[in-house]
Structures are given as structure tokens and as C-alpha cells.
Structure 1
Amino acid sequence: MFVRRQADAVTSQAQTTRVPQADRTRAMRARLLEATVELLVERGFAGTSTTLVSERAGVSRGAQLHHFPTKNDLVVAAVEHLTELRGAELADAVAQLPTGKRRTRAVVEMLGDHFASPVFTAALELWVAARTDAALLAAVSPLEQRVGRETHRLTVTALGADESRPGVRELVQATLDLVRGLGLAATITDDSARRRRILREWADVLDKELAGTPR
């Protein structure tokens, strides 16, 4: 009976510690992924190493290698993490948009800010690296397609655009191409003032076109 009680006690202790251990594991992985994104922004893909990631995350090298044995394993997981992060940030920004006649300008400025954010910079580093890395491309491509579809959907919703009308889908896509290009330019130099001017003009164009008013 005493042995059984001891065994039950050990089992009970294992059960009570199992959940905290799982929480610690999730927290450790999250720190590693956040550190990877930060380093991609600061140092680029080439300058991001597993050693630097473990140091930034405050995780032992052995623990990091246990979860992500190679740099590609770590970066692929970071791609998935980044996809979720970009989607959540964009959805939150859309939810905070004002209503009224300045709505269109608010939408395009929000998109401009999103594509000039550190999260976009990290994604851009992965795009460039994936161009010549087949394994990374295989991971990045489907996730980027998913991000593209969701971003397009959120933009249509935010603008109240009717894509059944000829040319409206192309206008939405042109908007996304514009803010993506401006975001790329922002990685080289701070051109926020020029970006604002361009986006204000584009918002006026969108208002006229989406309302069906001829130029």
C-alpha cells in the first residue's frame, strides 16, 4: 500500500508539472522566434545565426538546438510565426480604422504604415534569401501566398470595395503593390513624408474610382 501511494504521488507530481513544462517550452520557442525576427530586421538573413538567436532569447545553446537543430529549421518556424504576426497586426489595424469620408485615406495610410514596419522588413529579408535557397523558398512561398490573400481580403473589406465591378479588383491590387513598393523604399531611407503625400493622392484616386466617378 505504501509503495502504491508513493507511485501515485510520483504520478500526481508528474501530472502537475507537465502543464508548466509545456508552458515553459512554448515560452522558450516564442522567445527564440521573436529573437529571430528581431535579428532579421537588425542584421539581415546573412547576419542572423543560431548562436546570436539563442543569446538574444536568453536560451541555452543546447535548448535552442533541441528545438531547432539548424538555421533553416529556425527560420522556417520564424516564417510561420511572422505570418501569424503580420496577419494579427493588420487585422488589429483594420479594426481601429475610423468611419466617414476620410476612411479611404485612413485605409491607405494604415497599409503604408504596415508595409513600412519592422515585421515587413523581416519578411523582406526572407524573400530575398529564399530567391536562391530552394528549401527556404518552399517554406516561404505558400505562407506568402496566404498572407497575400488575407491582406487583399482585409483591404477589400476596409475599403468597402465591390470587386464585382470591372477594374475594382485591379485597383485594390494596385493599392497593395503601391504600399509594398513604398515599404521597400523605406528600408533604404526614411521617406515617410513623401510616402504620406503619395498615399494622400492615391486615396483621392481611389475615392473617385470606387464611387464610379469618371476621372
Structure 2
Amino acid sequence: MRQRLLEATVECLVDSGWSGTSTTLVSQRAGVSRGAQLHHFPSKNDLVLAAVGHLAEVRGEELRQAAAALPDGPRRTRAVLQMLADHFTSPVFTAALELWVAARTDPALHEALAPLEQRIGRETHRWTVELLGADEARPGVRELVQSTLDLVRGLGLANTITDDAARRARILDEWARVLDDRLGPAAPERARRDAPAGPAGEEAAR
């Protein structure tokens, strides 16, 4: 029942926004009695703060599953960008966005949300580095990865007002070329560094 209530809270945030989400609406959507809802979450703040943690888990799992399905080869960079763009235009991100806006003027919500968002931000950055094969020891690469995340997050925000799919695809196509150009020169260095020792490794390095 607790899980149903948390999932219903996220759905209400997506469909009705922060101001339109109430404990009554959540209990109705979850299909549980008002008394049962109050037993688990006595107030809207209790319910939403629990939903914050649940939402963080859902967002992390969503990204992990998408990352596992990425292809290898020359189109990988574009696929990574598409994975990130899909996440930042998903209903899960919309629910998170509602919480971000509300947390600006709600100290209790801000206190609960800020550390989770920081953790998600660090994990998303780490995954992006790994998926792109970026070497952050090289000057400017860390900033390039962060620019990538800022870009797709901004595209997600733009999509909340209008369907921005066509323009987003063109921007991601161009940014993929930028990343391949900037990150590509490090590939031979990594290949030589990671090649196994001995004749086979020497052949691989060549």
C-alpha cells in the first residue's frame, strides 16, 4: 500500500502539479481509503517527502536500464545523448521539476530534496563520463561533460511548454559531432594504455 501511495503521488505531480496534488487525490488514485493513507502518511509533507526518496530511486533505475541498452560503434555518442534527453523529457523528470519549483520556497522540502538531487547529479555525471569514454584528466573534458548535462536538462525544460522533439534532435545531432571531435583524439591513447601486455598488446596498440 505504501508503494502504491508513493507511485500515485508521482503520477499526481505529473498530471496535476505541486499545487494540484493533495492527499485526497493521491489516496483516490492509489485506490486506498483516506484512513489507510493517513495511517502511512499523516500529512501532505510526510507523503511528498517520502515520494522524494522514491522518485530518486526511480530516476536512478530508469537511467541504469537505458544505459544497459546502449549500442557500441560510431553512433554511440548520439545514443548516449538520446538516452539523457529521453530521461530529461520523461514523466519522472516532470515530477522532479515540480518538486524543484516547490522546494524554492518550502524549507522542509528543500532540506529533503537538495541532498538527493546532489547525489543524482553526481551519479549522472559519472555515468555520462563512463558511457562517453571521456577522460576527465584532459583539460576541458570535465566541463564538456557538465555542459552536456546542462544542455539536455535545458532541452527537457523547454519540452515542458511545447513539443520540442524536432529542434531537440537537430541540436543533439550537432552536439554529438562536437563530442566526437573533442573526445575522439583520446581514444588511441586509451587503447594503447588498456591493451594487454605482450605481443598481442603490441599488435593492438599498432
* TM-score after normalising by structure 2: 0.89
1:177-214 deviations in Å (ceiling 9; x for gaps): 0000000011111011110110010000000001239x
Q: RMSD between aligned alpha carbons?
A: 0.8
Secondary structure, aligned partner of 1:182: helix
Which of 120, 129, 133 lines up with 1:156 in the alignment? 129
Which of 156, 162, 170 lines up with 1:197 in the alignment? 170
The aligned amino acid for 2:30 is A
Which of 76, 92, 95 lines up with 2:68 in the alignment? 95
The aligned amino acid for 2:126 is R
Q: Structure 2: how far apart are the matches of 1:70 and 1:90?
A: 31
Which of 12, 16, 21 lines up with 1:48 in the alignment? 21
* TM-score after normalising by structure 1: 0.85
Which of 131, 137, 143 lines up with 2:116 in the alignment? 143
Which of 49, 54, 58 lines up with 1:85 in the alignment? 58
1:10-41 deviations in Å (ceiling 9; x for gaps): xxxxxxxxxxxxxxxxxx01100010000100
Secondary structure, aligned partner of 1:209: helix
Which of 60, 75, 83 lines up with 2:33 in the alignment? 60
Q: Structure 2: how far apart are the matches of 1:72 and 1:143?
A: 16
- The answer on 1:72 being equivalent to 2:45 is yes
Q: Report the CA distance between 1:112 and its aligned residue.
A: 0.6
Q: How many residues align?
A: 186
Q: Structure 1: how far apart are the matches of 2:109 and 2:47?
A: 11
- The answer on 1:118 being equivalent to 2:88 is no
Q: Structure 2: how far apart are the matches of 1:195 and 1:144?
A: 24
The aligned amino acid for 2:31 is G
Shift >3 Å, 4+ stretches: none
The aligned amino acid for 1:96 is A
Secondary structure, aligned partner of 2:19: coil
1:134-166 deviations in Å (ceiling 9; x for gaps): 000000000000110111111111101111111
Secondary structure, aligned partner of 2:20: coil
Structure index of larger Rg: 1
Q: Structure 1: how far apart are the matches of 2:56 and 2:90?
A: 14
Q: Report the CA distance between 1:44 and its aligned residue.
A: 0.3
1:67-104 deviations in Å (ceiling 9; x for gaps): 11110111011110000000000011011000001100
Q: Which runs of 5+ in 2 are unaligned?
A: 187-206
1:129 paired residue number: 102
1:25-66 deviations in Å (ceiling 9; x for gaps): xxx011000100001000100000000000000011111111
The aligned amino acid for 1:48 is T
Q: Structure 2: how far apart are the matches of 1:103 and 1:52?
A: 42
Secondary structure, aligned partner of 1:46: helix
Q: Structure 2: how far apart are the matches of 1:168 and 1:91?
A: 23
Q: Structure 2: how far apart are the matches of 1:199 and 1:178?
A: 9
Q: Which runs of 5+ in 1 are unaligned?
A: 1-27
Q: Structure 1: how far apart are the matches of 2:88 and 2:185?
A: 28
Query: Identity over aligned residues, as a percent?
Result: 76
